[in-house]
């Protein structure tokens, strides 16, 4: 490591991926600067869903969801409304039949707590440090990070930078790691979210689809504070992706159930879907979370992939610092590219296939009606479907012969009941 550097690693962005990476590196004894553009507590537009698998990931930085989210609301079921108005209900069960509930906690709270934990692990958090650009000095094998603060501009240096600064990552853009314009529109979902008063005590969230939304949907996710996270997401955005159009769709679909006069100001964001063609490394640089496009193409979830990629990046950074080689061609950086593709690759590919299937289904409504009718008359199959939606089951489960067999059996049982009726 260059002794005149300000840190061993500079992590840009104190969201789940950045804080997890900073905590892991600090626990290993590295000097870590964690830069956050805003001041905590700060909001982050999101669905606020903490998936069960996050607990195992947090163990790597000596914490868990019971510590970070004791006041989260648990939701174990899902209510799905098809475009034709049919509703099915199921629980998010894993392959052993065990309900794997979501925990719901606003990012305003969760991100702050995770960043504080990173500080307890030894990372130095610097708020109101907005990164403008990251330059690579090849002759010194270090990054020069240009920052804007309330007091003016500044620069910091480190051999390694971990970019965790979201979908519009300045870190990625400054190093040429953004997707091409040709890919961008096909790899994005646009969404709008607000919070509304919510008193329903049912332990379920809702997904509402509509013919006009195509493969998109609206959602109602009850939170822990007497409010619900209500929003809309559109896949393959076009003119309808404007905030005004999204809000109009949201009110049209949910206006009869939600009092939008008491809603918080709506906020929009982009979800860059996972794509195996993207690069997540450059000399001295590793991207994690939304900055690398690590968003599930089927469900839109990204907190779990952010934390997981943050831990993978921390391991790569630690190994690179130990060897003194921080080039993108160095074994630790190449290992990171292999690791995230190995961990997320199948999910991304199957997620895209499921997304494509849903688009086809919405174009041919009979396909959706078929699925909904089967689920309505076979609770086990409904729970499996909800298990896929809720990440209780891996997407590879749809490739198992038993999954298709259950669907065929539910079809036969449904036909028999119709004949008897």
Question: Which domains are seen in the chain, by residue range?
Answer: 9-73+103-181+274-352 (3.50.50.60)
How much of the chain exceeds pLDDT 90, in percent? Answer: 66
Please report which confidence band the pLDDT of residue 347 belongs to, taking 50, 70 and 90 as the band edges. very high
Quote the pLDDT of residue 363: 61
Look at 240-249, 269-278, 339-348, 387-396 and tell me which has the smallest mean pLDDT.
Answer: 240-249
Quote the pLDDT of residue 414: 46
DSSP H helical ranges for 276-324:
303-323
The gap from C-alpha 333 to its chain's centroid, in whole angstroms, comes to: 23
Quote the pLDDT of residue 212: 82
Q: Which whole-number Å values give the CA distances from 174 to 118, 168, 180, 261, 285, in the listed order? A: 26, 11, 14, 41, 11
Find out whether 262 and 196 touch, Cβ atoms under 8 Å.
Answer: yes
Find out whether 229 and 108 touch, Cβ atoms under 8 Å.
Answer: no
Quote the pLDDT of residue 210: 85
Look at the block and give the residue holding tokens 């440090």: 129
pLDDT digits (tens, 9 = 90+) for 136-150: 999 999 999 999 999
Find out whether 136 and 283 touch, Cβ atoms under 8 Å.
Answer: yes
Region 226-231 average pLDDT: 96
CB within 8 A of 383, min separation 6: which ones? 90, 91, 92, 93, 97
Write out the H or E segment, with its range, that includes residue 104.
strand 102-104
Region 229-249 average pLDDT: 77
Report the alpha-carbon angle 329-330-334, nearest 5: 70
Quote the pLDDT of residue 186: 58
How much of the chain exceeds pLDDT 70, in percent? Answer: 88
pLDDT digits (tens, 9 = 90+) for 84-102: 888 899 999 998 999 999 9
3-state secondary structure of 137: strand
Write out the H or E segment, with its range, that includes residue 163.
strand 160-163
Which one-letter DSSP state was computed for residue 123? P
Quote the pLDDT of residue 65: 97
Q: In whole angstroms, what is the distance from residue 315 CA to residue 377 CA?
A: 47
Statement: residue 421 has pLDDT above 60: no
DSSP per residue over 183-240, as a string? Answer: HHGGGEEEEEEEEEE-----SEEEEE--GGGTT-EEEEEE-TTSEEEEEEEEES-SGG
pLDDT digits (tens, 9 = 90+) for 65-83: 999 999 999 999 999 998 8
pLDDT digits (tens, 9 = 90+) for 116-165: 999 999 999 999 999 999 999 999 999 999 999 999 999 999 999 999 99
Cis bond upstream, residue 41 (ω within 30) = yes
Quote the pLDDT of residue 411: 52
371: number of Cβ within 10 Å: 21
CB within 8 A of 280, min separation 6: which ones? 177, 286, 287, 288, 292, 309, 336, 337, 340
Statement: residue 319 has pLDDT above 70: yes
pLDDT digits (tens, 9 = 90+) for 374-403: 777 778 878 888 998 899 998 888 777 766
First to last CA, the chain: 76
Quote the pLDDT of residue 124: 98
Which one-letter DSSP state was computed for residue 37? S
Q: In whole angstroms, what is the distance from residue 36 CA to residue 321 CA?
A: 23
Find out whether 68 and 110 touch, Cβ atoms under 8 Å.
Answer: yes
């Amino acid at each position: 490591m260059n002794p005149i550097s300000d840190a061993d690693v500079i992590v840009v962005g104190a969201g789940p991926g950045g804080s997890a990476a900073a905590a892991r590196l600090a626990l290993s004894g590295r000097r870590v600067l964690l830069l956050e553009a805003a001041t905590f507590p700060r909001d982050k537009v999101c669905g606020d869903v903490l998936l069960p698998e996050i607990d195992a990931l947090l163990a790597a930085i000596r914490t868990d969801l019971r510590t970070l989210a004791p006041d989260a609301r648990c939701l174990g079921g899902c209510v799905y409304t098809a475009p034709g108005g049919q509703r099915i209900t199921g629980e998010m069960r894993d392959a052993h039949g065990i309900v794997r509930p979501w925990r719901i906690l606003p990012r305003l709270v969760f991100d702050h707590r995770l960043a504080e934990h990173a500080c307890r692990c030894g990372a130095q958090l610097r708020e109101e440090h907005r990164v403008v650009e990251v330059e690579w000095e090849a002759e010194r094998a270090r990054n020069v990070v240009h920052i804007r603060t309330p007091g003016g501009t500044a620069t910091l240096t480190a051999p390694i930078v971990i970019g965790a600064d979201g979908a519009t990552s300045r870190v990625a853009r400054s190093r040429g790691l953004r997707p091409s314009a040709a890919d961008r529109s096909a790899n994005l979902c646009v969404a709008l979210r607000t919070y509304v008063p919510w008193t329903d005590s049912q332990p379920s969230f809702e997904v509402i689809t509509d013919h006009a939304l195509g493969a998109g949907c609206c959602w109602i996710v009850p939170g822990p504070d007497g409010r619900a996270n209500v929003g809309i997401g559109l896949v393959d955005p076009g003119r309808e992706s404007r905030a005004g159009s999204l809000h109009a769709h949201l009110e049209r679909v949910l206006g009869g159930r939600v009092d939008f006069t008491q809603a918080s100001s709506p906020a929009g964001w982009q979800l860059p879907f996972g794509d195996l063609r993207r690069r997540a490394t450059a000399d001295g640089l590793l991207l994690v979370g939304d900055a690398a496009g690590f968003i599930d193409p089927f469900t839109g979830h990204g907190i779990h992939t952010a934390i997981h990629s943050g831990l993978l990046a921390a391991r790569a950074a630690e190994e690179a610092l130990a060897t003194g080689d921080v080039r993108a061609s160095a074994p630790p950086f190449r290992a990171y590219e292999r690791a995230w593709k190995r961990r997320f690759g199948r999910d991304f590919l199957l997620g895209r296939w499921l997304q494509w299937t849903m688009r086809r289904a919405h174009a041919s409504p009979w396909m959706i009606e078929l699925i909904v009718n089967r689920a309505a008359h076979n609770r086990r199959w409904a729970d499996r479907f909800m298990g896929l939606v809720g990440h209780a089951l891996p997407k590879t489960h749809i490739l198992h012969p038993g999954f298709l067999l259950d669907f065929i059996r539910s079809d036969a049982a449904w036909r028999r009941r119709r004949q008897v009726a």
